[in-house]
A and B are shown apart, each in its own frame.
Chain A
Amino acid sequence: MNKMKLISLAASLLLSLAGCGGGGDGGSVPPPPPPPPPPITKAEAFQFLNQSTFGALETEAQNVIGMRYETWIDDQLQRPASLQLPHLQSLAVPGVMPFELQDDRVDIWFRNALHGDDQLRQRVAFALSEIFVVSHIGSSLNNQPWALGSYYDLLAEHAFGNYRDLIEAVTLHPAMGVYLSMLGNEKPNPTLNIRPDENYARELMQLFSIGLVELNIDGTVRLDNGQPIPTYDQSIIEGFAHVYTGWTYAGAQNFRGASPNYFNQVVAMELHPDFHDTDAKTLLGGVTLPAGQTGEQDLADALDNVFNHDNVGPFIAIRLIQRLTTSNPSPSYVERVARVFNNNGSGVRGDLGAVVKAILMDDEARPAMHMEIDGKIKEPLLRLTQLWRAYDAQSASGRYPLLAAYIFFGQGPLQSPSVFNFFSPFYAPPGEIRDSSLVAPELGIATEYQNTLVTNYLFYQAFALNHIADSLEEDDVFINFQEEMDVADDIDALIDMVAGKLLGGEISDTLRTEITGMLERIPETDTAIRAAETIYFISTSPEFAYQR
C-alpha cells in the first residue's frame, strides 16, 4: 500500500468516526484511554528485523510481535557483545604466516552474525566497520588477524556506548594506527623536510566525524553565496597531524621501527613523549592548543574539539540511517536523530545506543510504508546472511570461513578496498535515482559483474550447496531446505513457505507466477529441484534485494 492510499484510508476512517456522532454535551465525559497500538504484522516484523539484525527469522518475528519494537530494542541494548578475539586466541598461532588466520576471523564474524544473540549490537558494529574502516585488503594488517579481531570487538563493545569514547578507542587502536599510519608518526624535523603524517588527521574528520562541508542539523549542506562551506583547511589538517604524533605499539623499546607481535597488536598504542610535537596546534573552530601539552592532553583536547563540532550529529545520523534503514532519509528524520545524538534526553551528547534506538523507532523507519524512496538496497553480504539464517546454514566443520566474501559479494568483514568503504554514501546510479538527486549507496557495488557473481553464488547455494548435496568439502556452507522438500508436491505451499521465510510472506504476483511456471515444468517427485528453484528465484529477485 502506498502513502496516498494510506492517507485516503485514514481520511475515510476519520470521516466514518465523525459520522458516528459522539459529539457529547461537553466536558463531563473523561477522555477514553488511548487505544492499544495495532498488532505488528509479520511483514512489519520482518522489515524491522532486516533493519536491526543479520536477517529476519520467523521465530524472531514472533518475538518482535510479542515484545513490540521498543522492548525488543531495549533488551538488545543491554546484551553483551559476542567477541572475535577470544576465538582467535584459542587457535594455534600460525608458525610463520599469521594471515592464515584471516579465514578464522571471517569465520567468527559469520558465527556472530548468524548466531549471536546480540544481533542489534553486531549489526551496528558492522555498520560502524563501514564508517571507521580498516581492512586487511592491500594492507599489512593482513598479517595481523588478532589486531582486526580486537578492532572489531572494540566496535561491538562501543556500539551502544558514547561516540567520544569510540573515537578515542579507534584512534589508539593499533589496527587503525597501521591502516591510516598514525602509528609511528613523529614530530617534525624541518632540516630533513619531514613533517607529521596527515593521513589519520584527514580521514578522521572527512570520513569518521564531520565530513568536508558544514551541515545543518537536518543534514542539508549549509551554503554561503550558493557554495558549500568547507569544515577545515590544510592548516587544520596539519594541526591535527601534529596532535597525532608520538604513538606506537604498546611496550615498544624504541619508537622507530617498532613492530607488531601477538600481544601489542590488540592493545591501545602508547605515547613516546620524545616523538610528540609540543608546539601549538590549530584545530577546528578557531581553537588553538597551547604549546607544551603532553601527548595525552593534546589527544584528549583534539578529540573533544572534533566531538563537539556541530556536524557530528547529522553526519553520524546520516551514516547510520543509511546503513540501517534508508538510503534517502528526509531532513526531518536526520534532524530527529541528530538531536538525540546531541542530547539523549539526559543531557548526554554522543549516546550511540540512544541514536540507534531513535533511528529504528522513528516514524519514517517504522510504519511499513513501501514508498518510492523508503528503504534501501540490502548490502549483498546481508542478503547472504539473511538467507543463511533463514535456512540454518552450516558446514561439516562447523566453520564459515568465506574469506572470498569480498570477491563473491563485493564486500566482507573488514575487507574494504580502501578507507572509503565498499561504496560511497553519495553513490547514485545513472537513471531516475541520479536524475532525482537521490542516492543508493549499495548499488555502487551492484555492477553487472558483481550482481552476476552474487546471482551465481546463490544459484550454487540453492542447487549445489544444500543439505542433500554430495561431495561437499568440510568447509562448504550448505543450506537446509528439508521443510521445503516435504511440501514440494504442492507448488503454492512451497512458494508460500519460501516467501514466508525470506520475504515475510509478501511476494509479488510476478514472482509467484514465474516461479509457478518453472515449478510446473519440474516433476513433483523432484522435490529437491523444486525447493532449490524456489529459493534461487526468490533470493535473486529484486524484491529480496530490497529492504523496505
Chain B
Amino acid sequence: MAKYNRRQFLRSTGAAALFAATPGLAYSQVVGGGAPFTDYRALVCIFMFGGNDSYNMLVPTSPAAYAAYQASRQNLAIAQGDLLPISPTASDMTFGLHPSMGALQSLVDSGQAAFVANMGPLVEPTTLTQYQDKSVILPPQLFSHNDQQDQWNSLKGNNVSKTGWAGRMADLIRTNVAGQQMATNASLFGSNLFQSADETIAYVMGPQGPLQFEGFSTDPNSILFEQRQAFRRIVDAQYDTIYERGFAEIQRRAIDAADTVSAAIASAPTLNTVFPAGQLGTQLETVARLIAVHDDLQMQRQVFFVATGGFDSHDDQNQNQPGLLANISDSVGAFQLAMAEIGELQNVTTFTQSDFGRTLTSNGDGTDHAWGGHQFVVGGSVNGNNIFGDYPIPAIGGPEDVGGGRFIPSTSADQYAATLARWFGIDDEDLDVVAPNLANFGVRDLGFMIT
C-alpha cells in the first residue's frame, strides 16, 4: 500500500496552481441608496482588556496634584523624576507619562496624540451625592469586567442593547459604502459587541489577516474548485436547527471573504516600519497593510478592532505595568510611522478603550476595579498635545471618589464615541443613534478631532 501525504494528494488531483488568488465573491453589503463618500477614513479601536490602570499612565506633575497622587498610590506611585514630561496646551496642570511610554510622548509632542481624562460609561452626569442617594441612573454592574466592556462597546446604559456603537455606525452608512468589497467593520481579535449590528456583519480575521481554506481552488479546471463548490453547497443547504444555520452562516462568510481579502493584502506594499513583536504589533501591522490597499477593496470607511489583554493588574502591578504600557506605546508609535509611510496620517484615527480605570488605593501589590480612567487618541486629524475633559485631583475621598479611589467619570464614553463618529462622517442627528445617552450631556463634541 502506497503511503500518502498531502503533497501527493494535491498532485494526484491535478491542482497545480493551488490557492491561486483571484478576486472571488465580493463581500459587499449591497443595499443601494446613499451617496458614496468622496474620501477615505478609518478608525482603529485598541481595546486594553482587563482594565488599564490609567492613573499610572497619565500622571499630574503639578506639585499639589502629584502630592495627592503619591499619597493615594503609596507603593504603586511612580517617582516624579521617572515620569516622561508632556506639556499639553491650554491646561493649568502639568503632566507626565509612564516611563515606558516614550513613543507616546513623542506623538504627544508632535501633536498627533491627545488624552481624554477621567472618562467612563455614564447614563447622565453624575455627582457623588447623586451616586450615594441613588438619584441618578447608573450603568448597571459597575466594576464588573464584562459588563463594563459591554458598556464601552455598546453605550447601552441601562437599556438592553445587542449592538455596538461601531456596528451602529456601519449600519448608518451602509448605503454610502455599497461598493465596498469588505465589511466596514473588521476585527482582528475575535467577535465583539463593539462591531455588532442589526444590518451589517463584522468580518473577523486573524491577527495576520484572513486565512485561506486548504484544499480549495478558484481555478475552475481543478478538482479543488469542485471541492470548494461542494463545501459551499453543503453550508448553503437547509438545516433544521438554529445552531447548524448559525454555524453554516459563518462558514459561508469565511469562504466568501477569504479570497478577496487575502488577495488584496497579498498585494499590499511591504512596509519599512518595523512593528513590535507580539499580539498587538502584529494586529496593527495587518491593519496598516489593509489600509494601504483600501482602494483595491474599494473601501471608504473602515473600523478596525484590535486588542490586547493582561491589564487586570490585581497582582504584581509594579512588575507588569511597564511591559503592558510599553507594548501599547511602541505599537501605536510604529502604527503612526506606517501611516506616515503610506500617506494616510490624516485619514486614520486610533483610539483606546478599556474596561474601567482602577482604584487609586492599593490591594498590597496591585489595584482593583474602578470606573473613570483616561484614554488616548492618535492620528493626523487629532487636535493633539491636549488633554480633554477634567483631570481630577487624584485624592482618596475627593469629590469624585465613590470609595477606595474609584472615580466617577467627568466625561462620558458617549461623548467620546460621538466625537469620533462625527469625524468618521456620521451626521449630527444620527450621533444619538451611535451614542444613545449623548443628549443627557451638554457637550456633543469633545473637540479632540479636527473636522
Contacts and interface: CB of A to CB of B under 8 A. Distances in A.
Interface of A: 2, 138, 180-181, 184-186, 192-199, 202, 206, 212, 227-228, 230, 234, 237, 327, 370-377, 417-418, 420, 424, 427-434, 436, 438, 440, 443-453, 455-456, 459-460, 463-464, 466, 468-471, 508, 510-511, 514-515, 517-518, 521-522, 526, 528-529, 532, 536-537, 540-543, 545-546, 548
Contact of B361 (A194, A327, A460, A469): A194
A172 to B, nearest CB: 18
B226 A518 contact: yes
Given A452-B213, A518-B230, A468 B237 contact: no
Interface in B353-369: 360-366, 368-369
Given A542-B245, A543-B244, 15 more contacts: A138-B309, A184-B315, A197-B363, A199-B315, A432-B246, A443-B243, A449-B190, A449-B211, A452-B211, A459-B213, A464-B6, A466-B4, A470-B4, A508-B237, A529-B12
B72 interface: yes
Contacts of A510: 233-234, 237
Contact of B247 (A194, A420, A449, A546): A546
A197 B366 contact: yes
A212 B254 CA distance: 35
B12 A526 contact: yes
Q: Which 4 A-B pairs have the closest CB atoms?
A: A447-B204, A448-B254, A197-B363, A464-B6
Given A446-B247, A532-B9, A545-B247, A518 B227 contact: yes
Contacts of B245: 432, 542
Contact of B204 (A212, A431, A448, A466): A448
A25 to B, nearest CB: 47
B201 interface: yes
Contacts of A185: 363-364
A433 B240 contact: no
A275 to B, nearest CB: 10
Given A449-B211, A463-B6, A418 B49 contact: yes
Interface string B62-90: 00000000011111000000000000000
Contacts of A194: 74-75, 361-364
Contacts of B250: 429, 443, 446-448, 451
A315 B362 CA distance: 32
Contacts of B361: 193-195
A449 B201 CA distance: 14
B246 A521 contact: no
B146 A468 contact: no
A451 B256 CA distance: 13
A327 B244 CA distance: 13
B225 to A, nearest CB: 11
Given A138-B309, A193-B360, A447-B190, A372 B241 contact: yes
Contacts of B125: none
Contact of A212 (B9, B147, B213, B257): B147
Contacts of B142: 234
B218 interface: no
Nearest to B146: A420
B268 interface: no
A380 B392 CA distance: 47
A157 B231 CA distance: 43
A424 B192 CA distance: 11
A429 B4 contact: no
Main secondary structure of the interface of B (DSSP, over half): loop
B246 A433 contact: yes
B242 interface: yes
B383 to A, nearest CB: 35
A529 B9 contact: yes
A459 B214 contact: yes
Contact of B72 (A193, A372, A440): A193
Contact of A377 (B72, B206, B233, B247): B247
Contacts of A536: 215
B139 interface: no
B129 interface: no
B223 A537 contact: no
Contacts of B73: 193
A504 to B, nearest CB: 15
Nearest to B254: A448
A418 B144 CA distance: 14
A537 B241 contact: no
A448 B144 contact: no
Given A418-B49, A447-B190, A234 B143 contact: yes
Contacts of A377: 243, 246-247
Given A471-B5, A508-B237, A449 B12 contact: no
12 contacts: A193-B72, A193-B362, A193-B396, A199-B368, A464-B6, A510-B233, A522-B223, A529-B9, A537-B234, A540-B231, A542-B235, A543-B239
B258 interface: yes
A196 B366 CA distance: 10
A463 B10 CA distance: 10
A531 B158 CA distance: 55
A434 B190 contact: no
B240 A469 contact: no
A517 B191 contact: no
Nearest to B162: A434
Contacts of B310: 138
A529 B1 CA distance: 13
B205 interface: yes
A2 B213 CA distance: 34
B144 A206 contact: yes
B441 to A, nearest CB: 22
B120 interface: no
A468 B197 CA distance: 47
Contacts of A450: 190, 204
A192 B215 CA distance: 62
A185 B365 CA distance: 9
Nearest to A448: B254
A443 B6 contact: no
A459 B211 CA distance: 14
B404 interface: yes
Contact of B243 (A186, A511, A546): A546
Interface in B331-377: 360-366, 368-369
Nearest to A199: B314
Contact of B244 (A202, A460, A532, A542): A542
A514 B240 contact: no
B196 interface: yes
B451 interface: no
Given A418-B49, A430-B197, A460-B6, A197 B1 contact: no
Nearest to B361: A193
B223 A521 contact: yes
A514 B246 contact: no
A196 B363 contact: yes
B130 interface: no
Given A431-B246, A510-B237, A529-B4, A193 B368 contact: no
B240 A463 contact: no
A429 B205 CA distance: 16
Contacts of B2: 468, 528
B403 interface: yes
Contacts of A230: 140-141
Contacts of B226: 517-518, 521
B192 to A, nearest CB: 10
Contact of A542 (B205, B230, B239, B369): B239
Contacts of B253: 448
Most chain A beta carbons < 10 A, residue from B13, B212, B251: B251
A420 B190 CA distance: 14
A484 to B, nearest CB: 13
A6 B337 CA distance: 65
B231 A198 contact: no
B203 A375 contact: no
A374 B243 CA distance: 9
A546 B244 CA distance: 6
Most chain A beta carbons < 10 A, residue from B144, B205, B250, B361: B250
